[in-house]
Every structure is written in C-alpha cells, then in structure tokens.
Amino acid sequence: MASNFDFLKTTDKELFSIITDSEKLFRDEYFNQCAVQLRIFAEKTAKKVLGKTQKEMTFDDTINCLKDKIQTQEQKEFVEDLFFIKRAGNACAHGEDIAPSEVLEAIRRAFEIAISYSYYKKKDEKIRKLQFDETLLITGKPLKENKLVDEYVRLATEEKAELLNLKQGEFNSNVEKKIDGKKDESYVNNVRQYKKTGKKKKELTPSQKRVKEKIKEARKTIKEKVNKQEKPKKQSKTKKNSKNKILKHVLFLIFVTISLILLTKMIFFF
C-alpha cells in the first residue's frame, strides 16, 4: 500500500515503519492511538536530528535543545511542528479524546518534519517539492495520472467550447433574420464578407437606403419652408421703403407749397 512517506524508505527505515503504522491507525479511525504513534515518530526524529543525546533526556529537553539552536525560519517551523505533535500525543496518552481534524493536522506536520529530516540527511532538492496527499492517506492508493485539477480543467474547456458553439448558433440565426418581412440579402452578404476579410462592407442595406432617402426628403422640406418664410419678409421691406418714399414726397410738396405761399406774400407786401 502506498504512503505519503515512501521517500523515508531509503532515508530511515525505523522512522518509515513508525509513521506508516500511524497512517494505518488513522485510516482505521483509531485517532487516539494514531496521535500517540505520531508522538513517538516526532520524538525519535528530533533526537536523530539533535545527534548524540543522553538516554535520560526527555522529549521536552530535546525540543528545548533544538530551540536553542534555531537559526532559520525552517528550523523554527520544525520545532513548532514537534511541539504540536507532542502536545496532541500527550493528551491522548492521558485518556483525552482528540478530534480527527487535529490528528490529520498532526500527520501533516509529521510529513513536514519528515521532509526536513530527509533533506537534512540527503540534501536532495526533489524531496522539498513533495506534496502531502490527503486522498492517499485515506485510501492508501495513489491518485491516477489524470488528477482532479486536470479533470476540472477538462470540464471547463468542454463548457467553454459548448458556450462558443451556442453563441455561434445565435449569431448564425441573427444573420438569417428578416427585415420588413423579407430577407435582407445584402446584410447576409455583408456578414459573410466580414467573416472572410475581417472588415465590414460599406454598402448600405435597403432599409438603410430608405432611411437615408427619408432624411434627404426631410431636409428638402425644411429648406422649402424656410424659403417661403423669407419671401414675405422681403415684400414687407419693399412696402416699407415705398411708404417712406411717398411720405418724403408729400413732405417735400408741403414744404414747397408753404415756401411758395410765403414767397408770394412777401412779393405782394413789397
């Protein structure tokens, strides 16, 4: 049966045996026993990383020694993972029940501990790229080559193609639409020309031509109305001018008449 910790086979057989037992216990839903087994795995790994230790040294002593030697973020996370597993294992060892989700988190942290330990021993960058597989933990079988993510991508691609076909069908039906009860052949030709060349044809459709003619007629009608309104204005101006001329003539005649009368009086007077 496959395991998330197969890479430990060639690194440390003892640790590999302990951790695979933990996986089996989890798979069989013995969560408390699994947590205790994980604590054993974490303690043995910590002592192997620390090196030569005294037999009387406890797990807490080992963690504290590793804590004093922390120099990188990776080492800090390594110690934190050890502490998490120790706390969960101690609680179960004292008869406390543990939630399956907490045990699962402990196994994840054990995986990170195993990665760090294996890289510490082998310095192989490929080990750092390994990912924890929850499905493999539960089923004991590796995922197929066609993973779930790939399946989602395939389904999304099929849905996208189906949507494009649907839109193309709607577009084709719109091309065949009728205008004024008759098929607008020029419109269809324009669309076909657009598909071939990528540019729209400038030729107007019959409906567009009719609209254009109506606009021309409207403009012509407006011009005629404007011209009709201007003519009366011109006539009124000429009438005013003639009236002014007559008035001037009348005034002139009055002036002349008055002048003649005055002149005759003056002649007779003298």
**Predicted local confidence at residue 51, as pLDDT:** 84
Domains and CATH numbers, the chain: 6-139 (1.20.120.330)
The Cα 35–Cα 104 span in angstroms is 9
CB atoms within 10 A of CB 30: 15
Check if the beta carbon of residue 95 is closer than 8 Å to that of residue 107: no
Lowest mean pLDDT, pick from 98-107, 140-149, 204-213 = 140-149
The model's confidence at residue 179, banded by pLDDT at 50, 70 and 90, is very low
**Distance of alpha carbon 242 from alpha carbon 88, whole angstroms:** 120
Half-sphere exposure of 95 (CA within 13 A, CB side): 0
Over residues 86-99, the pLDDT tens digits come to 999 999 999 899 99
Summarize pLDDT for 120-171 with one digit per residue, the tens.
898 889 999 999 999 899 888 776 544 555 555 666 677 767 777 777 777 6
Quote the pLDDT of residue 145: 42
Is residue 259 pLDDT above 70, yes or no? yes
pTM, rounded to two decimals: 0.53
Q: What are the angstrom distances between the C-alpha of 52 and each of 15, 62, 168, 178, 229? A: 17, 11, 73, 91, 116
- Max CA separation in the chain (angstroms): 169
Residue range 213-234: mean pLDDT, rounded? 67
Is residue 112 a contact partner of residue 77, using CB atoms and an 8 Å limit?
Answer: yes
Is the alpha carbon torsion for 150, 152, 156, 158 positive or negative? positive
pLDDT at 264: 66
- Region 194-221 average pLDDT: 65
